[in-house]
């Protein structure tokens, strides 16, 4: 896993994209629009199958999925909640009580919500029971996304546009210590980032990092050493806002988007 071989296909352009995930042989694309915000595509030929509407949504910032519960989760920063849609479209929502920013699902099938403004990771059950809160080290500023590894550690990315430090870190199980890190001062060099906004981790714990303003996706080793650039700005039309890694089919879905319009670019890895 990790070497991008080729661009497979590009899903059609439309409204701006706030999330992409895969579930049960389909690709879910979250767009900023009034109804039918979640477009569902077949994973084989990438034809649009149907659309789902997120009821009472006020805004979107991220989306992830859970194969165990066969549902998708959508972060709403305006209402400060997470929407849960099952594959039949039945919808519920539960409060986060802080503004959510990034979502992921861990090995226990629980939902990790990164809350940038309060410097925390909150872990919820699939139906919204708050299981725990982790406050991260002070060096992790403007937490954007977090993924929990199989051994319980966390891989996080942090650094908003005006921050001096932009990096990816591996954090201890209790959230208190930085074990490994990659990055530092904001920039465009091999070892630098300019808003590392989202992450994906493969089965061997290699890490894909969306480096937003530099318009690229980088690959790091399990100890967060730089491996290679896997998606470059030349392969994108706009900026890589979001991504999803389908380890079963060896596909990397990258949301190539602006604030107004976007598309999904699919890479073989």
Domain 19-247: CATH superfamily, name plus number: TolB, C-terminal domain (2.120.10.30)
Number of residues written out for the chain: 269
pLDDT in tens, 234-244: 999 999 999 99
- How does residue 88 score in pLDDT terms, banded at 50, 70 and 90? confident
Residue 138's contacts (CB-CB under 8 Å, 6 or more residues apart) are none
Determine the average pLDDT of the residues in 164-179: 94
For the chain, the first-to-last Cα distance in angstroms comes to 6
The answer to whether 71 and 87 have CB atoms below 8 angstroms apart is yes
pLDDT at 10 over 90: no
pLDDT given for residue 34 in this prediction: 84
pLDDT at 2 over 50: no
Residue 127's contacts (CB-CB under 8 Å, 6 or more residues apart) are 84, 92, 94
pLDDT at 3 over 70: no
- So where are the chain's domains? 19-247
Determine the average pLDDT of the residues in 124-150: 95
pLDDT given for residue 144 in this prediction: 96
The answer to whether 109 and 126 have CB atoms below 8 angstroms apart is yes
Determine the average pLDDT of the residues in 222-248: 95
Determine the average pLDDT of the residues in 204-213: 97
Judged by DSSP in three states, 54 sits in: coil
For the entire predicted model, the pTM comes to 0.95
pLDDT at 149 over 50: yes
Determine the average pLDDT of the residues in 28-32: 95
| Upper half-sphere CA count for residue 257 (Cβ side, 13 Å) | 25
The answer to whether 4 and 251 have CB atoms below 8 angstroms apart is no
Determine the average pLDDT of the residues in 77-95: 94
pLDDT at 53 over 70: yes
């Amino acid at each position: 896993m990790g070497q991008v071989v080729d661009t497979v296909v590009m899903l059609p352009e439309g409204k701006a994209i706030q999330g992409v995930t895969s579930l049960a042989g389909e690709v879910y694309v979250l767009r900023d629009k009034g109804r039918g915000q979640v477009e569902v595509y077949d994973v084989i030929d990438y034809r649009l199958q149907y659309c789902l509407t997120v009821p009472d949504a006020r805004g979107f910032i991220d989306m992830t999925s859970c194969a165990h519960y066969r549902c998708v989760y959508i972060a709403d920063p305006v209402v400060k909640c997470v929407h849960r849609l099952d594959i039949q479209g039945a919808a519920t929502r539960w409060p986060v009580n802080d503004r959510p920013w990034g979502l992921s699902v861990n090995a226990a099938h629980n939902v990790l919500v990164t809350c940038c403004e309060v410097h925390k990771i909150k872990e919820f059950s699939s139906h919204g029971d708050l299981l725990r809160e982790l406050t991260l080290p002070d060096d992790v500023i403007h937490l954007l996304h977090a993924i929990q590894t199989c051994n319980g550690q966390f891989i996080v990315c942090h650094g908003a546009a005006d921050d001096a430090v932009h990096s990816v870190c591996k954090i201890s199980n209790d959230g208190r210590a930085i074990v490994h890190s990659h990055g530092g001062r904001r920039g465009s060099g091999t070892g630098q980032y300019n808003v590392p906004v989202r992450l994906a981790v493969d089965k061997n714990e290699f890490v894909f990092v969306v480096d937003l303003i530099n318009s690229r996706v980088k690959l790091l080793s399990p100890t967060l050493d730089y491996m290679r650039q896997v998606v470059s700005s030349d392969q994108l039309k706009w900026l890589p806002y979001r991504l999803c890694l389908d380890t079963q089919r060896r596909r990397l879905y990258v949301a190539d988007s602006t604030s107004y319009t976007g598309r999904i670019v699919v890479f073989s890895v």
